[in-house]
Structure formats: structure tokens, C-alpha cells
Structure 1
Amino acid sequence: MSEQIKHECGIAFIRLLKPLEYYQEKYGTSLYGLNKLYLLMEKQHNRGQDGAGIATIKLDIKPGNRYISRYRSMEKNAVQDIFSYVTKKFAAVGKQDPELLKNAQWLKENVSFTGEVLLGHLRYGTHGKNSVEACHPFLRQNNWKTRNLVIAGNFNMTNVDELLQQLYDLGQHPKERADTVTVLEKIGHFLDDENQYLFDKFKREGYDNVEISQLIAAHMDVARILKKSAKTWDGGYTIAGIFGHGDAFVMRDPAGIRPAFYYQDDEIFVAASERPALQTAFNIKIGQVKEIKPGHAMIIKKDGSIREEMFREPVEKKACSFERIYFSRGSDADIYQERKQLGNLLTPAILDAVEHDIEHTVFSYIPNTAEVAFYGLVEGLHRYTVKTQRDALIHSRDNLTDEELDRILRVTPRVEKLAIKDVKMRTFITQDAERSDMVSHVYDTTYGLVKRDVDTIVALDDSIVRGTTLKQSILRIFDRLGPVKIIIVSSAPQIRYPDCYGIDMSRMGEFVAFEAAILLLKERGQEQLITDVYQKCKAQEFAPKEEVINHVKEIYASFSNEEISAKIAEIITPKNLGAKVEVIYQSIENLHEACPNHLGDWYFSGDYPTPGGNKVVNRAFMNWMEGNNARAYL
């Protein structure tokens, strides 16, 4: 992608199902869980580079000894920083007595992070506060082991104010307005309820307090806690949590918006945001990895029993398609094929745009995440070329000369790497004019591949959000090569609406498609529609989310996709550019054909999978109209 979009976040959860001595004997280390946690987090580093954190819980530790460990970091290489911090503890033990590193029980009793339940998190900060306190895992502490709670997740809730009010009504006083706090405290509240319910039950049956503590741990109904906690959540989420005594869960929202995968055998249960991370870390086949069902939670009891339970009735599955287009790593077998198909499906529109003139077109892509889609486009171009060559040979077979044969077979797609991203380029200079000049050099190009004043350049990007990098850098660089036309192609449809489920796309003014639609309305004398939409949004500002309609759709209703694309081409074309610029977007229909199991497309279509989404898009439009640059959700 030419412009980075931030996304929160990634999780890694591990539950060792055997004693630590088992892993020492079989794998030669008592740190098997920590080593695997590090691998899972490193293999998902694409999901968050603003910070990271881990937490571990030791099972069956005697009272008076620490059993919960947590460390979070905001260093540039946060994962490495965390595990460097943890490793130093064991290095110190090795210096004291190398044999102690083989003594699993001693390590568990004396060294932090030597636990059987491990949770890791990678964070991209979509909230304005980017501090170590905002990094997961979050911890809710209590002197009763079964009341302690650790959570980490990949989520955004659209109805934070509503959830906060519910906490106020319960008599709580949350320390800030954030969805992480509401989730932690909501689960924590019903965890306390469950503890009190079981305490009262066993007290009536005549057990003493020490016995009751053990009975609460054994009989805690995790599913009941989650059902009560998530009853009014509106958002996309995958959340992992651990209770102090060792029960744990990994839960996924009812629409399956955020991804969640798991693997289990008799040694281990693991869950992560991405399937390839599990495959690589544990050397397992794709069929061994399963997806957590929407509205369900994997519940891992302290005794090692595992079951999947429904905590909310699933709704129509709307798994995030941006995961497939951009966020998830392309090493997933299905995602790789889907991205290729996204490129392949663009072939007809691109051929029309270049008037099927393969000989005078250079095909390329914007590094690096559009590369796989580009492979699919190239395959489509080769199929077209083979067909045209076949047709030409059949048509000319009666009078085919050697020269004509050579001419027909010589035509093949000209596939080149024109854009080169200089990842080492930094914009140190602070003055705006000089910074813009530096930004324009973040990308470089390969010279000598384009025939000046003859060729057309087609460059595939995986999506176009703002268009600023295209305008400030890529188009200017391509123009130096002297093409007659530059066609920028997006493997994703036009991004028209904000996301509110974990992607940092929340301000209407940042979408070049929205800017294009507004300009078209003004050019055609339809400015009153903008005011009308604002008034409709304002009228529903305080309505229940279930009653709110996405009125922003009206902004786009008068225009075809092609009209908006043409206006976008005008917007992103720098002054004094020699080449003509054209923009082609993927259709939503093609997106669904390429990614049939991930139909969440609200940022393209405006069809939100939860009621809170409509409230967020209207709020985003009102913010734009009022000149308020705030995010439309917490």
C-alpha cells in the first residue's frame, strides 16, 4: 500500500497442557511456552508496531508467592525488547547455576514468566493516547486468585458511551473513556458476580473459606461470565483472557469481523490472529488450524479441559475483507490465492483502459503489499495474450509468413518493477515545504524501461485511501519516465466510509473518494444535499443505535463509480504533470467473488455489520461538517 493504514491488533495465546517438566524432558527446555510465544508474536509483527506486551500465569502456586507476571514495551522493536527483558532473568539464573535452568519446578517457584498460561499482544494505536499504559495485556488485580483478570484483544467497540453508562449504573467509576477499560471492567464485574454467587452457594453448604476458594476455581462458569459481559457489546473483537486461578478464554464477535484461529493437541492449546503464525510456530498443516466460530469462545479450564461455547447468537458473518486485501500476511494459503484473484479480476478493465495495446504498456505495482495481486494480474494478461495469439494464428494460417509469425509471438506483457520503496528514507527536516520534497523521494523508480512519449504505465496498488503519496511522490516519479498515460489501479474498491472495528480509518475528510463526491456535488450545483445529509445525521445524533440509518450513502448516490474515479484522478494529479492520469478501482462484486468467505465491506459499501456502525459514520460526517478532526469513535 502506498499509504500505511494502522490496524489494531494481534494476539497470541498459549496454554501448556502438561507440566513444565514434560517440555524440559521432550524439548530440552522449560521455556518452551515462552519460546513459542515469541515466535507467534514475531510472525504477527505486521499487526502492530506501536507497542507490545505479554503476561503469564503460574498454576497452583502457594499463597504468598507471585503467580502473575506482565511486561509491556513501546520500544521501536517492542517484541525483542520484551523478550530481552525476560531472557535476562534466565541468563542470571544460568550464571548462578546452569543446572537450575533444567529444573522446571525451581524455575516456576523462583523466576517470573515461568508459567503455563501465556498471553501476548501487538498493538497499533488507533486511539490518540500512545503510551505504555495503553498497551495490552490489561490487568485487573484482586487478593482473591479467582478474581484476577488479564485480557488482551484486537477490537473496537462502537458504543463505549453506552457501555460506560452501564458501568456507572452498576456503581463503578472507570478511570477513563476507552473501550479497553469498559471491556475489562465489564468482564471483571461479572467475574466478581460469579465469585460471589459461588462463595454464597458453597458457604451455605458448610465449606470453610479455604475450601471455597478451591471450589470456586473448579466450578467457575466462564461461558456465563462472557454471556453477561458481552450482552450489549457492539463492535468487532477477538479477545483473550485469563483468570488468576488458570481458567482462560478466547472469544470472537458474533459477526466474525475480527479473525481468530486456534490449534490444539494433547500438549498445547494455542490461538492467534493469523493462521500462518500458528503453522510456522508449531510446524503444523493448514487443515490442523481451526477458526473460532463467530459468537463463540474457546474456554480452557484450569484442569486442561477445552470446549467451544456460544456466548452470543451469531449473526450474518461479515469477516473483514481488508484482512484479505492488506492486513493479514499474504503467506496464508487462502489469502495468497484471494489476492491473486483480486488482481486477475481487474484484467478486463485494465485492457479496456489501454485499448488492448499490450505492446506499448508497461505493467508494474506499488511495493510491497500489492505484489501478490500483481501476480494475479500478470496471469490474466498472459491468458489474454495467449488467446489473442491463438486467434491471430488461426486467422492468418492460410498466408502466415515467418515475419508475421515472429510478430505475433513477440507480443507479451511488459512486466517491470518501476516503483522502488526506499525504506531508509526519513523526513528529518521539519519545515513543511522541505518535508513535502523529502516525502516525494520516499519512492524511486527504475529508468530505461519506458519508451518516452509512447508507452502507458499501469501500476497496481492494493488500495487508495487518501491519494497523497500518489500525488506527492509516485505519479511525479513515474512522470519522469515520459509515459503518455499513467493508470493507477486499486485491487480494493473505493474506500468511502470510516471503519469502527479496528482499522484507523475514521475521518471522512481523509478519504479521496469522499472528497471527489463532495467536489462533484458542488460542481453540479447540488451543495444543498450536503446540508440535507448533515441535518438528517444531526436529527439522529442521540437516537438509539438500532434506529440509526447511514445517511452518508446519499452523498455518493448520484454518481457512478466511474465518475468518482475520474474525479479522484483529477484530485491526485500534481500540477504540471506531463502524463494523463487515470484511476481504476476494483468493483465490490469482484471483491466478493475473490473473497467469498469474507464479505465485510462496510468501508466500501456503507453496509455496517452492527447497528453502532451507522452511528459512527453519521458522527464522522458531522465531525467533517463541523470542522472537528476528532475520531468518530473512541
Structure 2
Amino acid sequence: MCGILGLLLHDSNIDAAPEIFEGLQLLQHRGQDACGIITCGPGGRFYQCKANGMVRDVFDANSISRLVGGMGVGHVRYPTAGSFNNAEAQPFYVNSPYGICFAHNGNLINTASLIQFMDEEAHRHINTASDSELLLNIFAHNLQQTGKFRINEEDIFTALGTMVTQVKGAYACVAMLAGFGIIAFRDPHGIRPVGIASRQSGSGKDYIMASESVVADAGGFTDWEDVKPGEAIIITRNGVTRRQISPPATFAPDIFEFVYLARPDSVIDGVSVYRSRMSMGDALADKVKKVLDEAGITVDVVIPVPDTSRVAALNLAQKLGLPYREGFVKNRYVGRTFIMPGQQMRKKNVRKKLNAMALEFADKNVLIVDDSIVRGTTSKEIIQMAKDVGAKKVIVASCAPPIRHPNVYGIDMPSRTELVAYNRDEKAIAKEIGADLAIFQTLPDLEDSVRQWNPKITSFDCSVFNGEYVTGGIDEEYFRHIDSIRADNVRGKLQLNTADINGKDTKEAQNYTNSSTPVTGTDDTVGLHNTFTSYTPK
């Protein structure tokens, strides 16, 4: 769950960095671990600033002013493989061939064989544990096979087409070639989102590429269009060229984007996230009514867990004719607990993030609506908070079905055994989180809630709910690998180990990476200041 952004301004004398900075803030919900911007200035020189931390903390007026150039790439990140190393902040960069910057959202599932290929055949060094750097180097290797001093759009499409046959998994990417332009492409199944938009600028047009349409809306861009599954789009100051780089495959966007990940004011693959969540609330209301009637329980009030479940909870309350109340007050200066590393940190931050108002809970049967229940840590704390301020009964309703399987396509789901629904039915889940009753949306109802807004989407990636992985290639050995790197006890050790980066303490390492100077002419992007020559397209 990362956020990617690319921007090309028609007027090359205007710096793109300030607008990329604003766009990354709008994508901050997609990643709070690290962020970065690389721009391309005169002569094809790249300038970068990236580090661990939130967008507002990594960038200031001085660092932004030093990011020179009318086009650039930005990224907000959170790790899916257990590493918090500063060196894995994106965008990544390679100097050969031509100078390429790269931002990636997703996850590859055949990294072991790809690393072997890079080592034994491509002879390219992968400096981090990030599959994003691996993907960049595969693209760079394929471009290098052209043997050309100058390349054109056809060469880029060919390189990307070859790459699609080599990699498996989910990827939505934005790339930038020095002195050439920006590129967006998407995996054949369209699992992760990315789209493009334009706006008039003098005699030409500015172009933006981003994970979500809200970035384009805020910047005054129009004609938002999702990049099609298996499609690549190249934008230069001479225009837009697009090509299908892979044969047709099952279009299966990740349904969890609509449940939780995306902002409600975004439109993804033609579906309003806001409208889909309204529909989720309507469908969940029918399930809640049926279960409550069977249990002989009446509910006094509906309370959402802010913020993601608000839309669904309001529609549910309206349909059932129940009062809707904001019973939890949120501290907006605490990050999303779902993407916080470590069980203890998540547990500790729930109480810092939310405060229950006793007057909405005391002596009431409360229906708490949440978008989903993953580890159960947040739910357990929230339920206990409700009981601490006097709730008689606490019923929890989830807009999503029970999550029983790990996500392998770029969402940092925990290991299987850390999922609260793993090997538990709904009654056992309720007991584990301390609820009097736990009610879950059915998968058909969830799919219909999204599909009704774009009937052309016939399939979704629902693997976290049903264990069916659209790309194939997922077996028990892969699950054991996922468990070994995502378990909280492992992640805690990895986090401690990153205190020493290249012989530096954490603060020094962050300063070392956070450099708004021309980037290095090697594969390591964390601090040397050599520059490479400009590249002029043929």
C-alpha cells in the first residue's frame, strides 16, 4: 500500500517539486513509513530528497527549493517485507542506461528467481531487499539490451513488454527517464491502481500520474483516466503515447482498495470509493438486521470507528432507522494503526488515537461499525474502551468478510497466525476481541457493493477473504516465507537492526539520505553527488 506520483509540466522552467509535495500529502494515507521526490532538471540532471518519515517532516521549503526541474516522481511508502531501512525509501534510481527513476506500488511474488537472474545473467547489483529496486533493474536491463545510444518510445514499450513476461505479482509504477519523459504502467490484472490526467497550460498541457484521482482533482487536472491493466503510457513534452504491453488477462482490482485503502473522494477504475462504501453500509444493514433478530438483541445506537467506516455506518443506521452518533473522538496526529509496525505499538496507539465519549455509550447496546478486522488488536481495544465507559452490550459489524489469508500483492497483512479470523468462526472471533456479537459482510454482497458502480469489472482480487490468488504461483512454501518476514516478532528485530545503517546511527543515516542534491552516478541513491550527462531523445 504505497502511493506513487509523476508530474510533467509543459513549461520546463517551472519546478514540479512543490506540486509533487502537495500531491504526496494527499496520498499520505497510503504510506507513512518513508517518502521521496526525484526531479529532472536542465541537462537531464536528477535531484532527490527522500528519507523515513511523513511528507511534512521530510520536506521543508529549503529542500523543495533545491529540487530543480519541470518533471519528477514522488512516492510515499510503507514496507511489506519487514524492513524499515532508510535506503529503501523510494523513488529508486539507476544511472545505466540513460538514467531512470522509479516508484512502485505493489509486490512481486517471484523475487527469488528474479534476483538470481539479475546476479547470474544481467550482472546487476540489487542493493536493498526491496522488490521495487529489483523491478527497476529488470526494466533497466531490458532497455540496455537495445544497445542504443538514444532510445524512443518503441524501445521503451518493448522493454516493458519483456518485463511483463518476467515478473509475477502486482505492480502499478511511475518511471522517469532523464531528459525524456515520464511513464506509467500497470500489471496485467490491474491489481493496484494508477491513472493519468491533464490540464491546459499555456499552449500545451501538464500531465499527472497518481495512485488516486484525488491528487488530480486537487491540482486542477481533468479527464482522469485509469491506466488499463497491462497498459503502458509514455508522456513527453511532445505528447502522449500508449500501448498494451501484455496479452489480455483477468482484470481483478484489489477490492480492499474500496474497503479501506483509498480515500473516499477518489475514483478508482470508474468506481467512486464513496459510493461503494455507501453500498457496503446498505448491504451490511440487511445482514445486521437478520443476525440481531435471530439473537433477540436490540441496538440503541450506531457508532463508526473513524474515519474509514463513517460512510458505511451512516447508511447502515439510516436503513435500520437507528441513531447515528460519533462516539469516538479521533486524534488526527496519530498515524493509521493498521500500518504501524509491531503489535505493542499498534495496541498502545489505539488509546492515543481514539477516545470514547461516555455519554454515547453508557447503559446502551452499541453497534460499532468498522471497515474490516485484521489482527483484531484495534477492535479489542475499542470494544474495551466502550465497555469501560459503560456500554451494556457491544456488537461489532464489519463492512468486509473475515480476513483469513495474507495479502501478497502489496498490503502489509500480518502472518496468517496473527490474523484474528485465522482458524476461527464468527463466534470465536467475537470472543477473542471481547464483543458480544461479531457480524461480517458476505463476500458476494461486498463485491456487488463495488461492481454496481462499474458493471464492467467482473472480477476482484479478494484473496484475503477467499484465498484465491489471481496471479497463481502462491503455495505453502510462499506462505511460510511470508510468515517468516511479516510476523511481529520478526519485524521488531528488523526494526532494531536498522538503527545501524552503513555504520551510522538512525539520525545520521536519515540526514545522509535526505539530500536535495544531484544524485549519484551509481546504483546507490543515498548521498554521493556525482551527476551524469544529459540524454536527448532521438
> Is 1:189 the counterpart of 2:141 in the alignment?
yes
> Is 1:251 the counterpart of 2:244 in the alignment?
no
Q: Point out the structure with max Rg over C-alpha.
A: 1
> Is 1:262 the counterpart of 2:170 in the alignment?
no
> Is 1:294 the counterpart of 2:271 in the alignment?
no
* Residue-pair matches, total: 469
- The answer on whether the counterparts of 1:58 and 1:116 sit within 8 Å (CA) in structure 2 is yes
- The answer on whether the counterparts of 1:147 and 1:191 sit within 8 Å (CA) in structure 2 is no
- The answer on whether the counterparts of 2:35 and 2:58 sit within 8 Å (CA) in structure 1 is no
Instruction: Kindly state the Cα deviation for residue 13 of structure 1 after the two structures are TM-superposed.
Output: 0.5
> Is 1:72 the counterpart of 2:50 in the alignment?
yes
Listed as ranges, the matches of 1:199-598 within 5 Å are 213=149, 216-218=150-152, 221-265=155-199, 266-282=204-220, 284=222, 288-301=223-236, 304-332=238-266, 334-355=272-293, 361-382=300-321, 413-422=322-331, 443-450=354-361, 452=363, 455-471=364-380, 473-516=381-424, 564-573=425-434, 581-596=436-451, 597=457
CA RMSD of aligned residues (A): 3.1
Query: Aligned in 2, Cα 1:369/1:622: closer, same or farther, shift over 3 Å?
Result: closer
Match of 1:15 among 8, 16, 32: 8
Q: SS of the counterpart of 2:318?
A: helix
> Aligned partners of 2:327, 2:144: CA distance in 1, in Å?
60
Q: Which runs of 5+ in 2 are unaligned?
A: 338-342, 452-456, 493-538
Q: Which has the higher strand share?
A: 2
Query: Aligned in 2, Cα 1:436/1:512: closer, same or farther, shift over 3 Å?
Result: closer
**Identity over aligned residues, as a percent?**
24
Instruction: Kindly state the Cα deviation for residue 17 of structure 1 after the two structures are TM-superposed.
Output: 3.1
> Is 1:85 the counterpart of 2:20 in the alignment?
no
Instruction: Kindly state the Cα deviation for residue 12 of structure 1 after the two structures are TM-superposed.
Output: 0.9
String of CA shifts for 1:394-438, please: whole Å, max 9, x gaps. xxxxxxxxxxxxxxxxxxx222222333456899xxxx9999788
- The answer on whether the counterparts of 2:6 and 2:182 sit within 8 Å (CA) in structure 1 is no
> Aligned partners of 1:570, 1:503: CA distance in 2, in Å?
26
Q: Counterpart of 1:45? A: 28
Partner amino acid, structure 2, of 1:157: L
Instruction: Kindly state the Cα deviation for residue 464 of structure 1 after the two structures are TM-superposed.
Output: 0.4
Higher relative contact order (CA 8 A, sep 6+): 2
Query: Aligned in 2, Cα 1:171/1:260: closer, same or farther, shift over 3 Å?
Result: closer
Instruction: Kindly state the Cα deviation for residue 81 of structure 1 after the two structures are TM-superposed.
Output: 3.0
Listed as ranges, the matches of 1:105-254 within 5 Å are 113-142=67-96, 147-176=98-127, 177-194=129-146, 196=147, 198=148, 213=149, 216-218=150-152, 221-254=155-188
> Aligned partners of 1:572, 1:345: CA distance in 2, in Å?
23
String of CA shifts for 1:25-64, please: whole Å, max 9, x gaps. xxxxx33x233222211211111111111111236x2xxx
> Aligned partners of 1:425, 1:338: CA distance in 2, in Å?
26
Query: Aligned in 2, Cα 1:151/1:420: closer, same or farther, shift over 3 Å?
Result: same
> Aligned partners of 1:174, 1:482: CA distance in 2, in Å?
59
> Aligned partners of 1:346, 1:218: CA distance in 2, in Å?
52
Deviates most, 239-248 or 332-341: 239-248
Query: Aligned in 2, Cα 1:621/1:241: closer, same or farther, shift over 3 Å?
Result: closer
Instruction: Kindly state the Cα deviation for residue 629 of structure 1 after the two structures are TM-superposed.
Output: 5.2
Match of 1:607 among 431, 445, 468: 468
Query: Aligned in 2, Cα 1:616/1:323: closer, same or farther, shift over 3 Å?
Result: farther
- The answer on whether the counterparts of 1:354 and 1:361 sit within 8 Å (CA) in structure 2 is no
In the superposition, the TM-score normalised over structure 2's length comes to 0.80
> Aligned partners of 2:47, 2:488: CA distance in 1, in Å?
45
> Aligned partners of 2:331, 2:488: CA distance in 1, in Å?
35
In the superposition, the TM-score normalised over structure 1's length comes to 0.68
Instruction: Kindly state the Cα deviation for residue 235 of structure 1 after the two structures are TM-superposed.
Output: 0.8
Q: Counterpart of 1:386? A: none
> Aligned partners of 1:243, 1:258: CA distance in 2, in Å?
22
> Aligned partners of 1:584, 1:331: CA distance in 2, in Å?
27
